[in-house]
Amino acid sequence: MTTAAVPAPAVAAPAPRRTSSARGRVTVNAVMVAMILYFLMPFWWLVVAATKDNDALFSTAALWFHSPGAFFTNLQQLFTYNDGEYLRWMGNTAIYAGVSGVGATAVATFAGYAFAKYRFPGRNLLFSSLLGAIMVPATALAIPTYLLLSKVALTNTMWAVILPSLLNPFGVYLVRVYVQESLPDELLEAARVDGAGELRVLFNVALPTLKPALVTVLLFSMVGTWNNFFLPLVMLNNDKLFPLTVGLQSWYQGALIQSGANALFTLVIAGSLVAILPLIVAFLLLQRYWRGGLTVGSLK
pLDDT value for 2: 46
* pTM, entire model: 0.83
pLDDT value for 181: 85
pLDDT value for 287: 73
pLDDT value for 1: 45
Interatomic CA distance for residues 83 and 86, integer angstroms? 9
Residue 136: how many CA atoms within 13 Å on its side-chain side? 13
Interatomic CA distance for residues 38 and 137, integer angstroms? 25
Residues 6 or more apart whose Cβ sits within 8 Å of residue 278: 94, 226
Interatomic CA distance for residues 57 and 40, integer angstroms? 20
Kindly state the helix (H) or strand (E) to which residue 273 belongs, with its residue range.
helix 264-299
Convert the pLDDT of each residue in 1-38 to its tens digit: 444 555 555 555 556 666 777 888 889 999 999 999 99
Convert the pLDDT of each residue in 138-184 to its tens digit: 888 888 999 999 999 999 999 999 999 998 898 999 999 989 888 88
Low-confidence ranges of the chain (pLDDT < 70): 1-18, 259-263, 289-300
